[in-house]
A and B are shown apart, each in its own frame.
Chain A
């Protein structure tokens, strides 16, 4: 795997067989309102390949029982599958050990876990945390809840008009009171790729911990957590071509083992009496109750799938699509792209004159094109650019030039209707 900040060149080779990849995804061959399905909303949630669907089907049909409990064949098999999935994730992120991988419900749950457990143990009134102006609500609201509970301060690192992260301004916010930097790797609205390795270095110089929201980043950039050297990294399965209901919180093991449990229940205890309960180490400490067993198996299958294609190849494919889409969209009069950072992932937010994004979304759906419309759970960023909502096209490993051509035709149809 490449380092997280590597700049990838557009793939001009013919080795990336997008037609073969598309054949793996049943949803892409659907006809939508009489048109081919141009699915350009992978940034919200990606479609699933047969390899994931079939693996999960098999796990439910012939490998299913609860984990970590029964002394019988299927329970052992399910436990092995679940723990092997943890190892697959660890290898994918280059974690030191699978014990650093905590399965959560999604990124939101992972960040809330850190806010509750780490936040209440390591932070206190007057401490400062830094987030960026680009954060998804999932990396804003948990910190506001913590602020209201214990009195920390939240500082916001700005972006420029093009959507570039302003490293100098971020550096100015760092001070001895800074205890945590919680920041996205890739903006879900602007597509901006944040130089997170530099963020980590500067934060560590001030002895602050760093949490990376990798919801978009893991898909477009991947991560090598040892090279990056952050303290927490969160991502979710469903944007990585895996199932919903499973996410990952990676944390440095010694830090995780200093954190108190977030939720109490079965599977996370060493010993329980009514007087005193002792807890297991990570990851079990943070996985109370029956976990998402088959979802973990599905996530591992998704990771195997993208690993075979190769994250570097996928990123290069997306970069070539991004360049193609920028050229094509530039032909549409009145279309403005919000977010033109120097280093961008395959995410394009745009406005079309004064036509509201929901009208765009409804009308282009009639032409088989799926995009996200709205505030993208990033209202402060919308306010930053003075817009209420944008339309957003986001690419996946299966996206192709036809999807973009279809989008451009559909946007011209929107203009035709609005006259």
Chain B
């Protein structure tokens, strides 16, 4: 169990949790959504700037949460920048399976680096109660880019 804890709270997660990247409110965001985990009270807002070619030009977030949810939002906003919305949808699907401990199947070569980075969050699969911490930011971004104003883990 303590090995699982060490795997979940890796240095890179603690670093993103303490010093989150893209923790800001960009004025030129084209969409945003509020994410809410009602059972624990964690809330965050994800801001995305989607260009005319459906690519994500900027992503950022604000809010409060545990180390896992903040680290996940921090890493996500780094990783999605420059990707097309459809690519991000596919990445979220794979990341979600990773967190649930499900088979992720064939990984497109261009995602390999990103999934390697996100793999540090896959430690949540040993902690079913914490999966929604790791996926809250992704659910919220998904809501933002697809025109919903809110996402909830419940």
Contact = CB atoms under 8 A, between A and B. Distances in A.
Interface string A12-56: 000000000000000000000110000000000000000000000
A166 B127 CA distance: 42
Interface string A163-195: 000000000000000000000000000000000
B4 A366 contact: yes
Interface in A402-419: 417-419
A362 B5 contact: yes
Nearest to A356: B66
Given A389-B41, A417-B9, 16 more contacts: A356-B65, A358-B66, A362-B5, A362-B8, A362-B127, A362-B129, A363-B5, A363-B9, A366-B5, A373-B40, A374-B41, A375-B41, A388-B41, A388-B42, A389-B42, A417-B5
Interface string B39-83: 111110000000000000000000011111000000000000000
B9 A389 contact: no
A270 to B, nearest CB: 43
Contacts of B14: 417-419
Q: What does DSSP make chain A's interface, helix, strand, loop or mixed?
A: mixed
A355 interface: yes
15 contacts: A357-B66, A359-B9, A359-B68, A362-B8, A362-B129, A374-B41, A379-B41, A388-B41, A388-B64, A389-B42, A417-B5, A417-B9, A417-B14, A418-B67, A419-B14
A382 interface: yes
**Chain B contact patch, size range:** 20 to 34
Interface of B: 1-2, 4-6, 8-9, 14, 39-43, 64-68, 127, 129-130, 133
B1 A34 contact: yes
A344 B154 CA distance: 34
Interface string A299-334: 000000000000000000000000000000000000
Contacts of A419: 14
Nearest to A419: B14
Given A375-B40, A379-B41, A417 B6 contact: yes
B5 A382 contact: no
B91 to A, nearest CB: 25
A137 to B, nearest CB: 11
B1 A366 contact: yes
B45 to A, nearest CB: 14
Contact of A359 (B2, B6, B67): B67
A150 B132 CA distance: 38
Interface of A: 33-34, 355-359, 362-363, 366-367, 373-375, 379, 382, 388-389, 417-419
B113 to A, nearest CB: 27
A315 to B, nearest CB: 31
Question: Which among A358, A367, A419 has the greatest number of chain B C-beta atoms within 10 A?
Answer: A358
A367 to B, nearest CB: 8
A416 to B, nearest CB: 10
B38 to A, nearest CB: 9
B105 to A, nearest CB: 29
Contacts of B5: 362-363, 366, 417
Contacts of A363: 5, 9
A302 B64 CA distance: 41
A355 B67 contact: yes
A33 B3 CA distance: 11
A263 to B, nearest CB: 27
A390 to B, nearest CB: 10
A417 B14 CA distance: 9
Contacts of A33: 1-2
Contact of A366 (B2, B39, B42, B129): B2
Contacts of B68: 358-359
B152 to A, nearest CB: 15
Contacts of A389: 40-42
B68 to A, nearest CB: 7
